Chain A
Amino acid sequence: MGKLRKELGGCDEEGPSLSRLLEERGVSRRDFLKFCTTMSAALALPVTFAPKIAQALDEVKRPTLVWLEYQDCAADTEALLRAEHPTVAELILDILSVDYHETVMAAAGFQAEEALAKVVKEQKGKYLAVVEGSIPLKDDGIYCCVAGRTAVDTAREVCGNALATIAVGTCASFGGLPAASPNPTGAVGVREAVPGATVLNLPGCPLNADNLTAAVVYFLTFGKLPATDDQGRPLFAYGKRIHDNCERRPHFDAGQYVERWGDDGHKVGYCLYKMGCKGPETFHNCPTQRFNQKTSWPVAAGHGCAGCSQPGFWDTMTPLYQRLPNVPGFGIEHTADSIGIGVAAGTAAAFAVHGVVSAFRGKSDADTSKEEK
Chain B
Amino acid sequence: MADLYEKYIWEVPVRVTHWVIALSIVTLSLTGLFIGAPKSVALVTDEFTMGWVRFTHFVAGYAFAVSVVSRIYWSFVGNEQASWREFFPWRNKKGRQDMYNVFNYYTFVSKRAPYTIGHNALAGLAYSVVFLLYIVMIITGFALYSEHAPHGFLHHIFGPVLHIFTNQGVRMTHHLIMWFLIAFAIHHVYSAWLMDIKERGGVMSSIFGGYKPVHKKD
Binds B, one of A56-64, A118-126, A214-222, A349-357: A349-357
Residues of A within 8 Å of B111, CB to CB, are: 361, 364-365
Instruction: Establish whether residues B169 and A325, one from each chain, have CB atoms under 8 Å apart when the complex forms.
Output: yes
Asked if A140 is an interface residue, CB under 8 A from chain B, the answer is: no
Contact of A224 with B by CB under 8 A: no
- Segment of A20-28, A34-42, A236-244 in the binding face: A236-244
B47 touches A324 (CB 8 A): no
Known contacts A254-B50, A325-B168, A373-B215; is-contact A229 B151 (Cβ 8 Å): yes
- Chain B residue with minimal CB distance to A336? B175
Would you give the shortest CB distance from B31 to chain A, in whole angstroms? 12
Whether the pair B186, A347 counts as a contact (CB closer than 8 A) is yes
CB distance from B146 to the nearest CB of A (A): 11
Asked if A324 contacts B172 (CB within 8 A), the reply is yes
Q: Does B178 contact A (CB under 8 A)?
A: yes
Interface size class of A (residues with CB under 8 A): 35 or more
**With known contacts A229-B151, A327-B176, A254–B48 Cβ distance under 8 A:** yes
> Is A340 within 8 A of B40, CB to CB?
no
Q: Is A253 an interface residue (CB 8 A)?
A: yes
**Cross-chain contact A281 with B147 (CB below 8 angstroms):** yes
Instruction: Find out whether the CB atom of B112 lies under 8 angstroms from the CB atom of A366.
Output: yes
**B149 smallest CB distance to A (angstroms):** 9
Residue A250 interfacial (CB < 8 Å):
yes
B92 in the interface (beta carbon within 8 A) = no
Asked if B96 lies at the interface with its beta carbon under 8 angstroms from chain A, I say: no
Main SS class of interface, A? helix
User: Are A351 and B38 closer than 8 Å at their CB atoms?
Assistant: no
* Interface mask (A76-120 → B, CB under 8 Å = 1, otherwise 0): 000000000000000000000000000000000000000000000
Chain A min CB distance to B202 (Å): 12
Q: Does A17 contact B (CB under 8 A)?
A: no
Task: Identify the closest chain B residue to A254 (Cβ).
Answer: B42
A341 interfacial by beta-carbon distance below 8 Å: yes
Among B42, B53, B148, B200, which residue has the most Cβ atoms of chain A within 10 A?
A: B42
Query: Contact between A343 and B180 (Cβ–Cβ < 8 Å)?
Result: yes
Whether A211 sits at the interface, judged by CB under 8 Å, is: no
CB pair B190 A273 closer than 8 Å: no
A316 touches B167 (CB 8 A): yes
Closest 9 CB pairs of A and B: A340-B179, A255-B49, A347-B183, A336-B175, A254-B42, A366-B113, A316-B166, A253-B51, A255-B42
Footprint of B on A, CB under 8 Å?
Answer: 229-230, 235, 239-241, 244, 250-257, 259, 265, 270, 273-274, 280-281, 283, 310-312, 315-317, 323-325, 327, 335-337, 339-341, 343-344, 346-348, 351, 354-355, 357-358, 361, 364-367, 369-370, 373
Subset of 17 A-B contacts with CB under 8 Å: A230-B163, A235-B151, A240-B150, A253-B49, A253-B51, A255-B39, A255-B50, A257-B38, A273-B38, A280-B147, A311-B163, A323-B171, A324-B171, A340-B179, A340-B182, A351-B187, A365-B112
